[in-house]
């Protein structure tokens, strides 16, 4: 019979080997400055730290975010909490720049600093069209009906190198909602 041991998610090994390994990957500057993580980074800029476990299991490493480990080392209770940055620098692990809060605290902090996603128009990172192209589509797209089979959706999709679904989304006001039909920039 094989038994498995679950490693608690918020249990961090703070033996001297891990602590030394952690701080060796940090560029420590003045107390008020950001102390940037110098090792592996997530695409969002947060540091990753491979902590060795102190458990008698086949698992030898546990990968955690560097700022959470730093907050834990500083004595902060991070169990079931977010670790937020006052400096808004995701690679910073300076404990003086970190505070513990709920998800709602993190959202309020983001909003108070006006860092929330700007999904409107060209500021949406997934947009395929410019504002002028979307306006042109809104003003000119014709979706055919059963009685009137005239539709230029496919030709517009070909012209702007997008899918017909993209053209329909503009026409049906699922995207580019703030545009007003007939009000181009001309």
Q: What is the pLDDT of residues 174-185, one digit of tens each?
A: 888 888 887 765
184 found inside a domain: no
Instruction: Name the residue with tokens 């899918």.
Output: 163
Write the pLDDT tens digit of every residue in 22-35: 999 999 999 999 99
Global model pTM greater than 0.85: no
Do residues 129 and 45 both lie within one domain? no
Q: Same structural domain for residues 91 and 135?
A: no
At 71, is the secondary structure helix, strand, or coil? helix
Please provide the size of the chain in residues: 186
Q: What is the mean pLDDT of residues 31-55?
A: 89
Q: Is residue 52 situated within a structural domain?
A: yes
Residues 32 and 74 in one domain: yes
Residue with tokens 């006006």: 114
**What is the rounded distance in angstroms from the CA atom of residue 19 to the CA atom of residue 69?**
9
Interatomic CA distance for residues 155 and 153, integer angstroms: 6
Query: In percent, how much of the chain has pLDDT > 70?
Result: 80
What is the average pLDDT across 121-132?
75
Of 69, 91, 112, the residue that ends a domain is 112
């Amino acid at each position: 019979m094989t038994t498995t041991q679950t490693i608690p998610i918020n249990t961090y090994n703070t033996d001297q080997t891990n602590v030394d390994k952690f701080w060796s990957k940090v560029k420590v500057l003045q107390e008020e400055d950001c102390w940037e993580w110098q090792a592996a980074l997530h695409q969002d800029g947060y540091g990753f730290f491979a902590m060795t476990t102190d458990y008698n299991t086949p698992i030898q490493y546990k990968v955690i975010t560097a700022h959470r480990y730093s907050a834990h080392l500083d004595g902060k209770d991070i169990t079931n909490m977010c670790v937020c940055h006052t400096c808004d620098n995701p690679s910073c692990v300076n404990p003086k720049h970190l505070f513990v809060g709920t998800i709602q605290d993190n959202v309020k902090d983001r909003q108070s600093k006006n860092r929330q996603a700007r999904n409107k128009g060209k500021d949406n990172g997934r947009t395929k069209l410019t504002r002028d192209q979307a306006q042109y589509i809104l003003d000119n797209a014709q979706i055919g009906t059963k009685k009137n089979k005239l539709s230029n959706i496919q030709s517009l999709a070909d012209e702007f190198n997008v899918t017909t679904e993209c053209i329909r989304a503009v026409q049906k006001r699922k995207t580019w909602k703030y545009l007003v039909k007939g009000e181009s920039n001309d």
